[in-house]
Amino acid sequence: MTEAIPSNDAPASGTSTGGPKHRKRPKWILYLALLGPGLIAANAGNDAGGIATYASAGSEFGYDMLFVMVLVTVGLVVVQEMSARLGSFTGEGLMSLIREQFPLRLATFAVGCLVVANIGLVVSEFAGIGAAFELFGVSRYVSVPLAAVVLIGVVVFGSYRYAQRVFLLLSLAFVAYPIAAVLGHPNWASVAGHLIIPHVVWSREFLLLSVALIGTTITPYMQLYQAAAVADRGVGTDDYPAQRFDAVAGSIVANIVSIAIIIATAAAIGGTGPLTSAKEAAQALQPVAGDASTVLFGIGLLGASALAAAVVPLSTSYAIAEAVGVERSVSRRFRDAKLFLGVFTALVIVGAGVALLPGNLIQLLINMQILNGLITPIVLTFLLILANRRSVLGDAVNSPKFRIVATICVTAIAVLATLVVIQTVLGWTGLISS
């Protein structure tokens, strides 16, 4: 089976729902009804690894990396819009299109890159859940297994509509970070200046952290989830304007949260060096947010980690099922989508189990973002080629101007990733200081 089967929760495009009152609903109601995949995918990027990376950017370089985040926001909007467009106009997920449009070896390579990156990410998301509960005095040996059971129940025994509502509810936790940024009383003039004017620090650490910011903000699983979820819910071409709004708005809102994390941490401990624990990141806000610092950071970290702990294995399940060509839908029962739901369940169990092992959470999370920063250009190259092919999208193909912008974004990400690989290899050989 090569076509994504629409969700049972959504009527097919163009299907009448009964009477004239349904056909004359205001456009803004349609836009609100279709909010979901874009907002969920982008917010999932603000996961445990994202929070650790953004907080480390603020603590190590103050406001210097804010301009980098502005550029990353532009890139995120571009790639998420292409993903949503592919899902809407083809009715298929990204990996399904890669399998159909590229040689088998390339498709296998793409799936392999995704699985390697996502296994580590699933572990880091559950580690983030454990770290969040430990801020409130709850042992991770209780919170992590319980979270795994809840997530499996929501996805395996629920429908896409139900799962989406849970994911959107978890997204509300991100409100904690803009609040923390305001409570930090930062120098807003300096913040504005760093958002508009580049402040580059010529060091290996700055470059590595820049790639980590790209890796955690423009992550392969986000594009895969975006396209697959749009296809899963049965979004048609007539609904695409609203779906495009969802993708663009979700990307911008998610990165406002990311920037808020950097601002809050920079205002509290900017220039003191990288972080080593989630507790240290929460305590860093104590001087400016008082006793609310731990609560704000903990709620945000919990919501972010739980959301990504569901979305990351889901994107992996979509990718593997699409690559094989079997049923993939959250709205299907286990017996109808054994591989899809089985892979999801297995990843959650493995991720939760490994997350209970001892280790440095913050370092693990940042390293995973660097790995994603290196794999992202590969997935984005496939995405760009597909969105440029008229045989795939017809008249919805990338326009000449959009193609230029998208190519610049993908190329810039690839160049940064290559520089990191070169510097890392030279560091291993002792040719440059590590």
73: its two tokens? 């926001």
- CA-CA distance, 122 to 403, in Å (whole number)? 33
Residue type, 223: Q
Domains of the chain (ranges; CATH) run 26-429 (1.20.1740.10)
- Does position 388 have pLDDT exceeding 90, yes or no? yes
- 10-14, 115-119, 157-161, 253-257: segment of lowest average pLDDT: 10-14
pLDDT at 12: 41
CA distances to 28, 427, 429 from 432, rounded to whole Å, are 56, 5, 8
- CA-CA distance, 262 to 216, in Å (whole number)? 14
- Range 265-283 average pLDDT: 68
pLDDT at 403: 92
36: left (phi over 0), alpha (psi -120 to 50) or beta: left
- 43-47, 145-149, 226-230, 405-409: segment of lowest average pLDDT: 43-47
- 195-209, 270-284, 338-352: segment of lowest average pLDDT: 270-284
- Tens digits of residue pLDDT in 40-61: 666 666 666 777 788 888 888 8
User: pLDDT confidence of 362, banded at 50, 70, 90?
Assistant: low
The whole-model pTM stands at 0.73
b/e map 238-275, b = 16+ CB within 10 Å: ebbebbbbbbbbbbebbbebbbbbbbbbbbbbbeeebb
pLDDT at 206: 85
- 91-95, 134-138, 417-421: segment of lowest average pLDDT: 417-421
- Does position 25 have pLDDT exceeding 60, yes or no? no
- CA-CA distance, 163 to 271, in Å (whole number)? 41
pLDDT at 238: 75
360: its two tokens? 């440095």
pLDDT > 90 in the chain, percent? 6
User: pLDDT confidence of 38, banded at 50, 70, 90?
Assistant: low
Q: What is the mean pLDDT of the chain?
A: 75
- Tens digits of residue pLDDT in 321-356: 877 777 766 667 777 778 888 888 998 998 888 888
CA distances to 111, 259, 282 from 266, rounded to whole Å, are 37, 10, 13
User: pLDDT confidence of 423, banded at 50, 70, 90?
Assistant: low
pLDDT at 379: 83
Closest CA to 108 of 414, 385, 382, 411: 382
pLDDT at 377: 83
User: pLDDT confidence of 6, banded at 50, 70, 90?
Assistant: very low
CA distances to 70, 80, 257, 423 from 84, rounded to whole Å, are 21, 6, 22, 35
